[in-house]
């Protein structure tokens, strides 16, 4: 598989390493010195798929360009989901081929499915409150992370007593219907996400800790392998569902 890599930072380099280990070829790389938006489809060097870990303010324009080129793309960039409906419509109307994910770690995928599975029972146990906390390195661009927002939405959608979530520092009492999604930025932490459910007598926590960027890169490359034969607009969950059903 021939890959065009967009974003040559640490995450992009991890993707390149994993892709080559799986016998794929990165034929071209784009970054701030060689912007995608200045390129044409001929500049892709015959790439069969694009993997994009760039910047949030570029993501929507990048996706529209990939749709216009009719080249399948895997989008690991977060921080643009407030425009998700707009992007979905553009991709589907234009016959594009796009898969996006807040976090390509397969461990995070397991975390989110475990949380989703326990929510129906917690709906009946009203004495449990919920929270989400994430920790990332100091160079992380978005706060809270896309993964924390994804987990927050999962809880708000599945827990009747939560109708919204609060991502700012809370000064004083928090609304009982608000889920607190908090963030810490420190050192070089790759990513730590904790979902907690707490009552007066006990606490249940689900946590994922990334040990390196390789886990995220592997998920992105596997998603790119899957996208070669797909048409439409997908989340990582769509690919996971097919992998699970095959198993």
Work out the percent of the chain whose per-residue pLDDT is above 70: 98
Residue 158 has pLDDT above 60, yes or no: yes
The mean pLDDT value for 200-207 works out to 95
The mean pLDDT value for 149-172 works out to 91
183 forms beta bridges with 134
Write down the pLDDT at residue 247. Answer: 46
Residue 174 has pLDDT above 60, yes or no: yes
The mean pLDDT value for 58-80 works out to 96
Tokens for 170?
């809370």
Confidence of residue 173 (pLDDT cuts 50, 70, 90): confident
Confidence of residue 211 (pLDDT cuts 50, 70, 90): confident
Work out the percent of the chain whose per-residue pLDDT is above 90: 75
All CATH 3.30.360.10 domain ranges of the chain, comma separated, are 106-209
User: Is residue 50 a contact partner of residue 71, using CB atoms and an 8 Å limit?
Assistant: yes
Write down the pLDDT at residue 168. Answer: 80
- Whole-model pTM? 0.77
Residue 85 has pLDDT above 70, yes or no: yes
Tokens for 16?
């390149």
Burial-class residue 106 by CB neighbours within 10 Å (0-12, 13-18, 19+): middle
User: Is residue 155 a contact partner of residue 132, using CB atoms and an 8 Å limit?
Assistant: yes
Write down the pLDDT at residue 215. Answer: 86
Report the candidate in 208, 214, 207 with the shortest Cα–Cα distance to residue 13. Answer: 214
The mean pLDDT value for 183-187 works out to 95
All CATH 3.40.50.720 domain ranges of the chain, comma separated, are 2-104+213-246
Confidence of residue 246 (pLDDT cuts 50, 70, 90): low
Write down the pLDDT at residue 155. Answer: 97
Cα separation, 18 vs 74, whole angstroms:
15
Write down the pLDDT at residue 29. Answer: 97
What CATH number does the domain located at 106-209 have?
3.30.360.10
Q: Which of residues 242 and 125 earns the better pLDDT score?
A: 125
Write down the pLDDT at residue 245. Answer: 62
Q: What mean pLDDT is reported for the chain?
A: 93
Is residue 137 annotated as a catalytic residue, yes or no? no
Q: Identify whether 79 is preceded by a cis peptide bond (ω within 30 of 0).
A: no
In CATH, 2-104+213-246 is 3.40.50.10470: no
Strand 164-166: give its sheet, edge to edge. Answer: 164-166, 178-185, 129-136, 192-198, 203-209
Is residue 140 annotated as a catalytic residue, yes or no? yes
pLDDT per position as a tens digit, 119-137? 999 999 999 999 999 999 9
Write down the pLDDT at residue 244. Answer: 65
Residue 217 has pLDDT above 80, yes or no: yes
Tell me the HSE value of 184 on the side-chain side, using a 13 A CA sphere: 13
Q: Which of 24, 136, 162, 193 is catalytic?
A: 136
Sign for the pseudo-dihedral over CA of 185, 215, 229, 37: positive
């Amino acid at each position: 598989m021939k890959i065009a890599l967009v974003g040559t930072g640490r995450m992009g380099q991890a993707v390149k390493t994993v892709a080559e280990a799986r016998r794929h070829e990165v034929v071209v790389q784009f970054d701030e010195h060689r912007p995608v938006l200045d390129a044409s489809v001929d500049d892709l060097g015959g790439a069969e798929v694009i993997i994009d870990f760039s910047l949030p303010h570029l993501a929507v324009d990048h996706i529209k360009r990939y749709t216009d080129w009719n080249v399948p793309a895997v989008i690991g960039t977060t921080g643009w989901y407030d425009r998700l409906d707009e992007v979905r419509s553009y991709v589907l109307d234009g016959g594009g081929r796009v898969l996006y994910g807040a976090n390509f770690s397969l461990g995070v995928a397991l975390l989110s499915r475990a949380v989703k599975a326990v929510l129906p029972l917690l709906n009946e146990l009203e004495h449990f409150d919920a929270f989400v906390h994430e920790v990332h390195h100091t160079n992380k661009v978005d706060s809270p992370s896309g993964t924390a927002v994804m987990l927050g939405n999962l809880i708000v959608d599945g827990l009747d007593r939560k109708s919204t979530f609060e991502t700012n520092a809370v000064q004083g009492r928090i609304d009982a219907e608000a889920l607190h999604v908090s963030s810490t930025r420190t050192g070089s932490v790759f990513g730590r996400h904790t979902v907690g459910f707490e009552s007066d007598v006990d606490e249940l926590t689900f946590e994922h800790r990334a040990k390196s960027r390789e886990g995220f890169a592997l998920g992105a490359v596997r998603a790119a392998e899957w996208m070669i034969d797909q048409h439409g607009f997908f989340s990582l969950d769509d690919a996971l569902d097919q992998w699970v059903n095959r198993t």
